[in-house]
Chain A
């Protein structure tokens, strides 16, 4: 645990709150999936909450995030209301993509969520592009790409990091190394198990942090964001973490990893880790933490109700928005 950091109390509580919000939304989504309310895929973020939380805590609304198929946590941490995420997965008109996207295509440009993608890789390039706009227009804004270890073996990683480095773009490349891409261990798909150190290959700082320690992520991301805002160029941050649930809801999960391994990582649950620290340091009592949990549970239930009551989109609008104007 990053215990020597000087992060103020309100920030620590806010980080705790965001992680719980993500966790409870994900668990509600998992239940909804079992109830047949979600029509397509649902990749949850349970276990990885510290990463989105620690990074997005530094971002303003105009800063932008480009996320992946496992993107609910990034959307929520960036400020998309839970009810809009849930309604989107339910295919409803109040969803953040108005029912056009589902889990893998969440868009909320109003708060800087520039999309989650169903294709592994392209968001790395798009994040570089947002950085290009910010630099071109002289805006002091930052762009973030979140991606899994699986994306590191994709050409987009190489091209995106190289482009961001040569143009010195204000971008954070945040790799969430959860050890597996679907069922394929990173140790199988890459001969070099290190991701963070690859920053050096592109001439940018490369940092490795404990991705289950939200304060460590917060600290590393803060430095990278400051560097990016002051024209200091991009940073690669590898967050070592673990996905607790199956790759996607409804998928089997017992064959490629052991129950002991999952149990060990559950011990290092990011919410538990921060909760223990907050009580030990006297920043919050267990009762106060429980209260946060209860409040968010009530909010999540309301969000689910909202989504259930939101209408399905009008079929006559199915081909709207393909072009900026008709013909």
Chain B
């Protein structure tokens, strides 16, 4: 099968959907003729022009609120934030408006809007260009939250996001954007709320998201040489969250580690833990472990930056420790 990058895969999904549905438009800074800071819309402006590839002023709150009104009236906006950190300037529009309009209108209005941007720590991006924040959106009723880890998932989930009538946060780890992977030529859609078992194993279950899926796979390969068999689960969407796949795995392994580059307090790991404790407690042979990024703003210097995120070695060690329990 051909291999393309994560960004190219998502872009292909976007192009297919835009071709099919003239009510779809994209807004963002530099997503017009420039094709996006990360190439997310390359080549589309030439085809569809300025109304569908709409270069915005630096007014995040403004264009998010504008897209909310657009989604209420029959078009399907995609907001391309470049860095997901900039979404925070539009938090009120997101949480008080976009997430609530379907409910407040008792389902008579839909909210078909996709909000995408890159997340994650890396490349000395420093603290204003490194945030992930998916647990915040997951906390709010009304959102779908997607964190893909491969080009294949990026395309399939992005197409589902565009077709969804709910607001979708589509969060792409910056260290994955140039990752190449197999993507079929034909169209396909991936469902929300269906985790992917990316590696089968017997002794311990690890739940990981985004870039951490890849780091965990590296750790699992390393541990295999030590005779440790690791099952790795990528939920792919955190809202909805597929707990059944996680619980099934723990039934077999009896041990759970959650690896999340984002903060621990009230995070995804806390939610997974609570659900396992209430629904799968009897399957546990050891306390649940979490390995998170440090609870800190993200530092700039490479040595400091590396110190605040899990890596292959710290993940491997966390798994070894869990097996000693």
Query: Which of A's residues lie within 8 Å of B, judged by CB?
Result: 64, 66, 97-98, 100-101, 105, 107, 109-110, 114-115, 117-119, 122, 124-137, 143, 155-156, 158-160, 162-163, 166-167, 319-325, 327
Contact = CB atoms under 8 A, between A and B. Distances in A.
12 contacts: A101-B104, A107-B104, A122-B93, A125-B62, A129-B69, A130-B69, A130-B72, A132-B75, A163-B59, A163-B66, A322-B142, A323-B144
A114 B63 contact: no
Interface string B59-74: 1011111111111111
Contacts of B97: 117, 119, 122, 126
B108 interface: yes
A97 B62 contact: no
Contacts of A143: 69, 73
Nearest to B107: A321
* Most chain B CB within a 10 A radius of its CB, from A98, A132, A137, A320: A132
A101 B108 CA distance: 13
Contacts of B68: 122, 125-126, 129
A228 to B, nearest CB: 14
B25 interface: yes
B107 to A, nearest CB: 4
Contact of A133 (B75, B102, B103): B75
Contacts of A127: 69
A167 B59 CA distance: 14
A322 B102 contact: yes
Contacts of A134: 73
Nearest to A127: B69
B79 to A, nearest CB: 11
Given A136-B23, A324-B166, A129 B57 contact: no
- Shortest Cβ-Cβ A-B pairs, 4 listed: A129-B69, A125-B65, A159-B62, A126-B69
B215 interface: no
A139 B105 CA distance: 23
A206 B74 CA distance: 29
A110 B166 contact: no
A167 B51 CA distance: 9
Contacts of A323: 102, 142, 144, 166
Contacts of B142: 322-323
Interface in B289-308: none
Contacts of A132: 25, 66-67, 69-70, 75
A127 to B, nearest CB: 6
B61 A322 contact: no
Given A114-B72, A125-B68, 13 more contacts: A107-B105, A110-B108, A114-B109, A125-B64, A125-B69, A126-B66, A132-B66, A133-B70, A162-B57, A163-B66, A321-B106, A324-B110, A325-B165
Contacts of A130: 69-70, 72-73
B141 interface: yes
A133 B62 contact: no
* Most chain A CB within a 10 A radius of its CB, from B65, B103, B107: B65
B73 A115 contact: no
Contacts of A100: 103-104, 106
B39 interface: no
A162 B57 CA distance: 9
Given A129-B70, A130-B72, A143-B69, A327 B104 contact: no
B196 interface: no
B61 A321 contact: no
Interface string B107-128: 1111100000000000000000
Contacts of A122: 65, 68, 92-93, 96-97
A61 B88 CA distance: 35
Contacts of B65: 122, 124-126, 128-129, 156, 159-160
Contacts of A322: 102-103, 141-142
B61 A155 contact: yes
Contacts of A105: 104
A321 B103 contact: yes
Interface string B209-237: 00000000000000000000000000000
A109 B102 CA distance: 11
A118 B73 CA distance: 20
A115 B102 CA distance: 11
B173 interface: no
Contacts of A162: 57, 59, 62
B193 interface: yes
B159 interface: no
B73 A129 contact: yes
A124 B74 CA distance: 18
A66 B110 CA distance: 16
